[in-house]
Amino acid sequence: MRCETSRPLAPDGATRDDLCLRVIEAIRSACADRAAAKTLHEPVFGGNEGDYLLECIRTGWVSSVGPFVDRFESELAAFTGARRAVAVVNGTAALHVCLQLAGVEREDEVLVPALTFVGTVNAIVYCGAIPHFADSGEQTLGLDPEKLAEYLAGIVDPGPDGPRNRVTGRVIRAVVPMHTYGHPVDLDQLQAVCERFGLVMVEDAAESIGSYYKGVHTGNTGRLSALSFNGNKALTTGGGGAILTNDEALGGLAKHLTTTARIPHRWAFQHDMVGYNYRMPNINAALGCAQLEQLPGFIAAKRALAVRYADAFRDIPGVRIFEEPPFGRSNYWLNALLLDADLEHRRDDLLESTNAAGFATRPTWTLMHRLPMYSSSPRMDLTTAESLERRLINLPSGVRVAVAS
C-alpha cells in the first residue's frame, strides 16, 4: 500500500505522505534522464560496440576463442593493475575458480558476508565447502574486520592443516570480502585478520570495476579476485566475468582450468585436469573492449550522480545517501539510500511509492542465512547486517540516469 496522508506522523513531524513525496522529488531532481530511472541500472552502448561485434561476425570469431578475448584480458589487466586477468562466462564462475585455486576444499568453511548476492555463496558451495556468515559494518557495508577478529579469537584453534573451528571441527580456509555496491572494504584490516588466523583472502570484486582502495584497484589485495560483467554492471559484456591475480602461476592455472584444461596442440584433444568450460566467447569480449574504452566516462558520470543524490537528500531528516569510505574511491555501482533506525519500518512504503512514481528502487538482497538452503550454515552475530537489510534502498544508478541522452 502506498503512503497515505492519514497515516501516523513520521519522527520528524512530517506525514508519511510528505516523506514519500520528498523522497520521490529528491530522486527526480537528481536524475538527468527520468525514463532511464525506470530501471535500476541499464547498460549504455555508445562507443565501438557495433563495429567490434560486426568484426566478430565478419571474421567468424564469435565463440570461445578469438582476438578480442586476448585483447580484453590484456586491457583489463592494465586497467586494474593486476598482473593477470582471465575472462570467463560470469562472475560466479570466476569466484568458483578463485576459491578452488586458493585451496578451498570439500568440508572447509569459508567466511563470507551475510549481506551479499547469492552468487558469492553459491560459488563456495560449488567447491563442496561450507559458507560461514559474518557481519558487516556501517562504514563500508562490507565485512567488519574488528568484529570478525573478535569472533574468530573465540572460536578458532590452530591446527596442522589450518585454523579449525572448535565448534564444528572444520577447517576455516578463506575469507571472501565483497565490495558492496562498489564501495571498497577495509582491505588492510581484513588482510591483518587473515594473517593473524592463517586464512586466505579471495576478493569478490564483482561490483567494483573502477573502484580503488587507497589508490589501488580493488581485487589486488586478495590472492585472487572475481569481477562480474553482467548486463547491470558498470561495464558489461552481456554476461561475463574475470579472474584477477598478481600470481603469474595462478593466473596461468586459472586460464588452463577455465578452458577445459586442454593441453595446447594443433589438433589433439588432451586434457590433464578436471577443467571447466568457463570460457568467455569472443563476441562478448568484443563488447568488453568497447566498454573498457568508455569506462572512465561511465564512472565519472556515476560519481557525479552520487553527488547529486547526496545533495538532494541532505535536507530530508531520517535518510541519507551512503557515501564512499574515506580510504576508498567508489564506482558507485548502485547508490544506496540508508534510513535511520527509527524509520526502518518505512522502507516498504517508500519502495512502493517510488516504484509507483516510475523510479526503479529496490531493497538490498535477502540476507544469506534467511535463504532456505543456507539457514543451517554457521554464523556469527549479524546485528549490523540485519539492521542494514531493514534500512537499505537502492536507487536508479545507470549512466543514462546520470547523463541525459
What does the domain layout of the chain look like in residue ranges? Answer: 16-44+294-402, 49-291
Question: What's the pLDDT at 17?
Answer: 76
Question: What's the pLDDT at 5?
Answer: 38
> Using an 8 Å Cβ cutoff, are 111 and 172 in contact?
yes
Question: What's the pLDDT at 197?
Answer: 97
Question: What's the pLDDT at 50?
Answer: 97
Question: What's the pLDDT at 405?
Answer: 58
Least Cα distance to 367 among 172, 148, 194, 131 occurs for: 131
Mapped onto helix, strand or coil, the DSSP state of residue 140 is coil
Mapped onto helix, strand or coil, the DSSP state of residue 274 is coil
Residues 6+ apart with CB under 8 A from 239: 89, 90, 229, 230, 231, 284
Going from the first residue of the chain to its last (405 residues), give the mean pLDDT of each consecutive group of 10, the final group possibly shorter: 42 63 96 92 96 97 93 98 98 98 98 98 98 98 98 95 96 98 98 98 98 98 98 96 98 97 93 96 98 98 97 97 98 98 96 96 98 98 98 97 78
Distance CA 136, CA 82 (A): 27
Distance CA 202, CA 187 (A): 11
Looking at domain 49-291, its CATH class is alpha beta
Least Cα distance to 303 among 403, 186, 185, 404 occurs for: 403
Question: What's the pLDDT at 14?
Answer: 43
Tell me the C-alpha to C-alpha distance, in Å, between residue 28 and each of 61, 167, 307. 44, 51, 14
CATH topology of 16-44+294-402 equal to that of 49-291?
no
Total-model pTM: 0.94
Question: What's the pLDDT at 4?
Answer: 45
CA atoms lying within 13 Å on the CB side of residue 64 = 10
**Domain 16-44+294-402, what fold?**
Aspartate Aminotransferase, domain 1 (3.90.1150)
β-strand partners of 243:
86, 226
